[in-house]
Amino acid sequence: MKIVYLSASICGYEWLKEIILNKECEVIAIITLNKFAKTKMYDGIPCEKWYEFFLPVYEIFNINQEISLLKKLKGDCLIVGGWRQIIDKEILSLFKKGVIGFHPTLLPKGRGPSPIINSIMAGIKESGLTMFYYTEKVDSGPIIGQKEFIIEDDDYTWDVYKKEIEKGKELIREYLPLIIKDKVKPQCQDERLATYFPKLDKKIFNQINLEDGLIYNYRKIRALSKYGKNELGLLSYEGAYFYYNNKKIIIWKASPIKEKDFGGLKLDFKEGSLFLEKIEIDGKEYEGWGKKIEDIT
C-alpha cells in the first residue's frame, strides 16, 4: 500500500516512525506546511525535521491547492498526522483506501477545534484517541479504532499530548495491517451521542478572570501552558495571563495551595489560592518560590 503522509506536528512526526516500521506499506511522500504558511500549528516542528526520513518532502501552503501534486503521487491512502486545514471533498475522493486521521477524543464526543484544551477545560477524565476515516463533515467519519486514556486533575497539555502520541502508535500497530489488507471494519459514528467543542478566541479566552474561580482558572493555566523547546519544536498555546501594575503576567505553571502560611507568588480566589510556580514577564521567566509579585513587576 502506497501512503502519502500529511503532517506538520510533533505527534505526526512520532507516528510516522511507527508507520515506516510496517514493511507491507510504502510511504511515498511527506507533505508538510511551509514555514511561511498562514496556518499556525501550536505543536508544529521545523520543516527540516521531515527530511530525516530520507523520503520526498513537499512543503506547501494549503493542501486543498495541491490536487495536481496528489494526483501525480498516486497514493493508495492519505494518512493525516496532525493538520489544521479542513480537507476538501475532491481530495478525499482521490485515495482508493481513503483518507485516515486522528482526533484526541473518543468520537463522536468532543468533535471540533482545540480538543485537548477543551477537554481539560471541561474537566473530562475519560478521554482517548480516535483513528477514523475522513468525510466531508469534520470529525464525523467512520471509526477505525479507539484507545482510551485518563486525563488526571493535574495533567498539563503536554502530559495529555504525550498520551496521544503513545495511543496513536498503538492504533497504527493494530490497525494499519488491517487497512493494508482491507480487513478493517469501521463503525459509523452515532450522531445521537455527538458533542461539539467551541472555537476559542485566545484574545478573550487566555486572560484570567478572578470571578471565574480557582478550579476554572487552574484548568485554563494547565490547558494553555507550554513546554520547553526541544529538537522537535515547542508546544505552546501562548499561556493564560493577567495584568498587574500594567504588566502582563503569563502563568506557565501553577498548583493549588494547601498551606495557610505560604512564601511565594500566588493568585487569590474566593475559594483558595494558586501558587504561581513559573511565570513570564516581558519575555523573562521567573520561579515563584520565595518571591512577591511586587518584587518583579
Local confidence band at 261 (pLDDT 50, 70, 90 cut-offs): low
Among 13-17, 156-160, 232-236, 242-246, which is the least confidently predicted range? 232-236
Res 137 pLDDT > 70: yes
pLDDT at 294 (0 to 100): 74
Local confidence band at 188 (pLDDT 50, 70, 90 cut-offs): very high
pLDDT at 289 (0 to 100): 85
Are 252 and 240 in contact, with CB atoms under 8 Å apart? no
Give start and end residues of each alpha helix (H) in 35-156.
67-73, 89-92, 115-121
The whole model's pTM is what? 0.94
* Residue whose entry in the numeric block shows the C-alpha cell 507550554: 226
Mean pLDDT of 196-218: 95
278 CB-near residues (< 8 Å, 6+ apart): 251, 252, 253, 285, 286, 287, 288
Mean pLDDT of 9-38: 97
Amino acid in the structure at residue 19: I
Mean pLDDT, all residues of the chain: 94
> What does DSSP assign to residue 81?
S
Confirm or reject CATH 1.10.3720.10 for domain 2-193, answering yes or no. no
pLDDT at 259 (0 to 100): 72
Confirm or reject CATH 3.10.20.600 for domain 202-296, answering yes or no. no
Are 161 and 10 in contact, with CB atoms under 8 Å apart? yes
pLDDT in tens, 103-133: 999 999 999 999 999 999 999 999 999 999 9
Among 48-62, 95-109, 258-272, which is the least confidently predicted range? 258-272
pLDDT at 238 (0 to 100): 87
pLDDT at 260 (0 to 100): 65
Percent of the chain's residues with pLDDT above 70: 97
Are 45 and 9 in contact, with CB atoms under 8 Å apart? yes
- Domain boundaries in the chain? 2-193, 202-296
Mean pLDDT of 224-240: 75
pLDDT at 263 (0 to 100): 76
